[in-house]
Amino acid sequence: MKFSLTWLKDHLETEATVAELAAAMNRIGLEVEGIEDPAERLAGFTVAKVLTAAKHPDADKLQVLTVDTGAGDPLQVVCGAPNARAGMLGVLGQPGAVVPSNGMELRKSAIRGVESNGMMCSVRELELGDEHDGIIELSDDAPVGANFADYHGASPVFDVAITPNRPDCMGVYGIARDLAAAGMGTLKPIAMPEFAASGACPVAIRTDDPEGCPAFYGRVIKGVSNGASPDWLQQRLTSAGQRPISLLVDLTNYVMLAYGRPAHAYDLSKLTGAVAARRAKNGEKVLALNEKTYTLDDSMTVIADDAGVHDIAGIMGGEDSGCSDGTTDVLLEIAYFDPDRIGATGRKLGLSSDARTRFERGVDPEFLDDGLDLLTGLIVELAGGEASETVRAGAAPSKPKIVSFDPALTERLGGISVEPAEQQRILESLDFAVDSGSSPWSVTAPLRRHDIEGPADLVEEVVRIFGIDDVESVALPRVDGVALPTASAEQKLERRVRRAAAGRGLNEAVTWAFLPVPEAEQFADGAKLWVLDNPISEDMKAMRPSMIPGLLAAAKRNMDRGASSLRLFEVGRRYFRNTDGSSNEKPTLGVVLAGEKQPRGWATGKAVPFDAYDAKAEAIALLSEAGAPVEKLQVMGEAGEQFHPGQSATLRLGPKNVLARFGALHPKTLEAFDVDGPVVAVEIFLDAIPGKKGAASFARTTYAPPPLQPVMRDFAFLVPADLPAGDLLRVVKGADKANIIDARIFDEFRGQGVAEGKKSIALEVTLQPGEKSYTEDDLKAISDKVVAGATKLGAELRG
C-alpha cells in the first residue's frame, strides 16, 4: 500500500521526519518496503514564464519561446505544444534534468537549426497524470524561478506491506491511528463534510442475499457535475499508484484508500428499477470495468437491477452502469459483504482488485453510515448536487468481541514488563474499550479488529506498540560440558558426498519426492511402488523409486529455457513398499549430465556432448569421496532398462552388492520424459557402501614420502575381445600388492597384427621400492607375477 507523507499528515499531527515515521511503522509491525521521494525525480525542473512565442522559421508546428527562469537572462526554448503562448507560466526542464517518463537527459541542442536550452514539459512527461496535448499551465501566482518540486508540493511516498490480519490498516487513517498510539503524533478526527439530505431516495434498495451481503446502504445525489478532480485529490491518488479518472470515480477510490472503505457510484440513468444485492444465476454474465466479461454462478453475490447484473459484489463494478463525464445523477452504494464469499468468488473468477483485498479480509462494519456520509459530503462539496436520505437494507455485524485479560500475561507471554496503566493507555489509543475495574480486565475490541481472538492477541498489541526492541534477548539454558555429536554416520556421509559433488562443479537440485505414477513405473524395476491414497495432485501420487526422474524433469525445465549445459545432482531418498506394507527408504545420490560438455569452438569444432565415460568418472570420484574401495570395484552390466544397454554399467563389490549404476539413458526413457538427448546419469546407492572398520581409519597421520623413486614398467597383453579392460587392470594391480601401487591402461588396439577375436591392451604399472632399490631379479619376479595373473584371464604377453 502506497501513500504520501502529505496524505498521512492529513490524519496525523506530527513533526516526525520521514525516517522516524518509517522506523516507527517497522517497529509496530507495518513493514516499510520502500520510500520514494518524487522531488528527486523533479530535480532540475523550474517554474518559468513565457515572455515571447514566435513561429519557428523552418517548422510549421514548432514555436521559438523566450523563457524567464528568474535567474539572469531569458532562455531560448523550441516547443511544439499548441497551448504555448506569451504570458503563460509553465515548467521548464533545463539542461542536465532527467525526464521522469522516459529517462532522457535534457541537453542544449539545435532543433531545425534553432538553439533550444531545455524543454517545456507536459503533465505526462513529469508523470503527474495522463495529459499530453500541451505543456503544463500553472496559475498566475506561481513564483517564477522556484523549484517546481517545492511549488508542486512533491511529498515522499511510503510503500508499506500490510499483513492479511490487519485490514484496519488498509487505509491511511488506520496507519495514522497506529502511529499515534506509538507516540508519533496526534490522531486527527475525521473531518466530516457538511451537507443537507432531503427527500426520500427515488431508488428502492434491498438485500436479497443476507448471508453474502448482510448490509446494503445507499442514496441518490442528483445534479452533480462530473469532471477532472482537483489537484490535491489527484496528487493523493497518484502517490498511491492510482490513475485519476474522473471526480466521481476518484472520490470513491479516495475514501477506500484513506479509510479502508470501498464504495461504488452508479450512473442513475443507466439503472432500471430497484437495486438489490442477490445471488447470481448460473450462466449470468457481466462486463466488468476492466473490459472483461465474466460468467457467474449461484455461489456469487452480485448487485443487480431489474435489467441485470451491474456489479460483482465487493470485487468490481460493471462497465454498463459506470460513471462518465456526462453523468449528472448517481446512486452511491456502500455495503458489508461476507469475507469468505468475496474470497471464494475472486478465486473462482481469477479476479483481483483493491476492493476485494479489503472485503475478503474484513472491512469495518461500523463505518457504513459514516463512510456513506463522508463520500456524499465530498461529492456535494466538489461536484455539487442534492443528496437524498439514506436507505438502509439489512444490518452489519454489531456484536463486539469481549476478551478477559490479565495484564500480567504481557510479561509471561511477551517477555516485557509494562505497567498496567500503560497497557490500558495503549489499548484505548487503539480504540479498545478497557474495563480495568474488574479482575481480570474486560476488554472490548473494536469491530474492525477481526484479528482479535483472545488474550494473546492483546499482549501482541501492547508489546508491538510499547516496543518489541525492548524485549530482552535471553539465552536458553544449557547444560555444562561439551555437547555430544548429533549427526549420524549416514548424515555425515550425505554431507560429505554433497560437498564433493558441489566441489566437482555439479549444481544441487531439490526436487519433489512425489512423481506421476507412469514416471515412477519407468524406474520401479519391478519393485512395489509406494502410492499415496490422498496425494497433493495426480502428478504427485507415487513416491519416487529413483532420483533420476526428478532430475530429468529439472533438466528439461532448464533446457526449455535455454540452458545449454546442465550438471545436476541431488541427495535424497528412494521409496519402496515392503511386502508387509511398511515403507522402505534408501539414501541415494543422483546425478544427471545433459546438453553440451564443451561448447562448439574453433579448437573443438562441434559441441561435445556428455557420454557414458563422463558418468563413470563422476560415479567413481563420488564413490571415492564416500569412502568406497574404488580399487576393488567391478564394472558389470545390467544397469537397468532405463539405460542404453551398450553405454551403461554398474559398479559392484562382488557380483551382488551394487554400489552404483551409470551410463547414457535409453532413447525410450528420454522420449517418455520429453527430453532431448543424449543425457547421462549416475545413481549411487549410499546404503550399499560398506562402512569403515574401526575409528582409527579417521585418525590423522603424518605424510612421509617414500625414500626411493617409483619404477615404471609397461606390459602389453593379447586378450579376448570381449574381456572388460577393467578386469585385466584389477588382476594386474592385485598381482603383487607389496610392490605394485598403481596401474593404468594407456592403449587398446585392434587390427593388423592382432588376431581375429583378440585385442591388445597396454598397461603402465607403477612399482614402489621399499628400503632398497630393485635388482633385475626383483623386477623379473614382479613381472612374472603380473603375467601369471593376466594369464588366468586368457591373456598372453605380446612379444
pLDDT in tens, 256-296: 999 999 999 999 999 999 999 999 999 999 999 999 999 99
**Per-residue exposure over 48-58, b if at least 16 CB sit within 10 Å of its own CB, e if not:** bbbeebeebee
Is residue 620's pLDDT more than 90?
yes
> Rounded to an integer, what is the distance from CA 32 to the centroid of its chain?
17
Tell whether 461 is in a known binding site: yes
Q: Which three cell numbers stand for residue 414?
A: 511477551
CATH of 707-797, one of 3.10.105.10, 3.40.50.10420, 3.30.70.380, 1.50.10.10: 3.30.70.380
pLDDT digits (tens, 9 = 90+) for 693-711: 654 444 456 778 888 999 9
| Residue-by-residue DSSP string for 703-750 | ----SS--EEEEEEEEEETTS-HHHHHHHHHTS-TTTEEEEEEEEEE-
CA dihedral sign, ordered 611, 615, 618, 624: negative
Is residue 167's pLDDT more than 70?
yes
User: What is residue 40's predicted lDDT score, i.e. its pLDDT?
Assistant: 83
CA–CA gap between residue 186 and residue 15 (Å, rounded): 10
3 state DSSP class of 63: strand
Tell whether 451 is in a known binding site: yes
CA–CA gap between residue 263 and residue 242 (Å, rounded): 16
Among candidate residues 81, 62, 76, 74, the one with its CA nearest the CA of residue 125: 81
Residue 440: is the preceding peptide bond cis (ω within 30°)? Answer: yes
Is residue 327's pLDDT more than 90?
yes
- Are 93 and 119 in contact by the 8 Å Cβ rule? The answer is yes
Is residue 250's pLDDT more than 90?
yes
User: What is residue 694's predicted lDDT score, i.e. its pLDDT?
Assistant: 52
For the chain, the C-alpha Rg in angstroms (whole number) is 40
CB-count exposure of residue 523 (10 Å: 0-12, 13-18, 19+): buried
Instruction: Over range 376-403, report the average pLDDT.
Output: 95
> Rounded to an integer, what is the distance from CA 86 to the centroid of its chain?
53
CA–CA gap between residue 43 and residue 98 (Å, rounded): 8
Give the residue, 241 or 569, on which the prediction is more confident: 569
Tell whether 618 is in a known binding site: no
pLDDT digits (tens, 9 = 90+) for 119-165: 999 988 988 877 778 999 998 889 999 989 888 877 899 999 999 99
User: What is residue 568's predicted lDDT score, i.e. its pLDDT?
Assistant: 97
Is residue 789's pLDDT more than 80?
yes
Is residue 459's pLDDT more than 80?
yes
User: What is residue 538's predicted lDDT score, i.e. its pLDDT?
Assistant: 86
CATH number of 40-152: 2.40.50.140
CA–CA gap between residue 594 and residue 609 (Å, rounded): 8
CA–CA gap between residue 42 and residue 698 (Å, rounded): 68
Is residue 169's pLDDT more than 90?
yes
- Are 789 and 736 in contact by the 8 Å Cβ rule? The answer is no
User: What is residue 697's predicted lDDT score, i.e. its pLDDT?
Assistant: 42
Q: Which long-range contacts (CB under 8 A, 24 or more apart) does 56-62 make?
A: 56/111, 56/112, 56/114, 57/112, 57/113, 57/114, 58/112, 58/113, 58/114, 59/111, 59/112, 62/111, 62/112
Give the residue, 292 or 37, on which the prediction is more confident: 292
Among candidate residues 529, 489, 545, 438, the one with its CA nearest the CA of residue 691: 489
In Å, what is the CA distance from 538 to each residue of 518, 525, 527, 529?
Answer: 11, 21, 21, 15
3 state DSSP class of 518: helix
- Are 92 and 120 in contact by the 8 Å Cβ rule? The answer is yes
CATH number of 402-469: 3.30.56.10
Instruction: Over range 168-186, report the average pLDDT.
Output: 96
Instruction: Over range 514-539, report the average pLDDT.
Output: 89
Can you name the CATH fold of 205-394?
Phenylalanyl-tRNA Synthetase; Chain B, domain 3 (3.50.40)
User: What is residue 37's predicted lDDT score, i.e. its pLDDT?
Assistant: 86
CA–CA gap between residue 738 and residue 625 (Å, rounded): 25
CA–CA gap between residue 777 and residue 228 (Å, rounded): 109
Q: In the chain, what percentage of residues exceed pLDDT 70?
A: 98
H-helix or E-strand containing 66?
strand 63-68
Can you name the CATH fold of 2-37+156-187?
Phenylalanyl-tRNA Synthetase; Chain B, domain 1 (3.30.56)
- Asked if 40-152 and 205-394 have one fold, the answer is no
CA–CA gap between residue 546 and residue 587 (Å, rounded): 10
E runs forming strands in 556-642? 565-577, 583-598, 608-609, 634-636
* Domain residue ranges of the chain, discontinuous segments joined by +: 2-37+156-187, 40-152, 205-394, 402-469, 489-688, 707-797
- Are 38 and 54 in contact by the 8 Å Cβ rule? The answer is no
Residues 429, 177, 24: CA angle, nearest 5 degrees: 100
Q: Which residues, in sequence order, are CB contacts of 402 under 8 Å at separation 6+?
A: 442, 443, 444, 445
CB-count exposure of residue 493 (10 Å: 0-12, 13-18, 19+): buried
- Taking all residues of the chain, what is their mean pLDDT, rounded to a whole number? 92
Among candidate residues 33, 39, 65, 69, the one with its CA nearest the CA of residue 52: 65
Tell whether 460 is in a known binding site: yes
HEC per residue, 212-280 = CCCEEEEEEEECCCCCCCCHHHHHHHHHCCCCCCCHHHHHHHHHHHHHCCCCEEEEHHHCCCCEEEEEC
H-helix or E-strand containing 65?
strand 63-68
Is residue 411's pLDDT more than 50?
yes
Instruction: Find out if CATH 3.40.50.620 is the number for domain 489-688.
Output: no
Per DSSP, the chain holds a count of helices (H) and strands (E) of 20, 41
pLDDT digits (tens, 9 = 90+) for 536-582: 888 899 999 999 999 999 999 999 999 999 999 999 999 988 877 67
Q: Which residues, in sequence order, are CB contacts of 408 under 8 Å at separation 6+?
A: none
| Residue-by-residue DSSP string for 387-403 | E---EEEE-------EE
Half-sphere exposure of 640 (CA within 13 A, CB side): 25
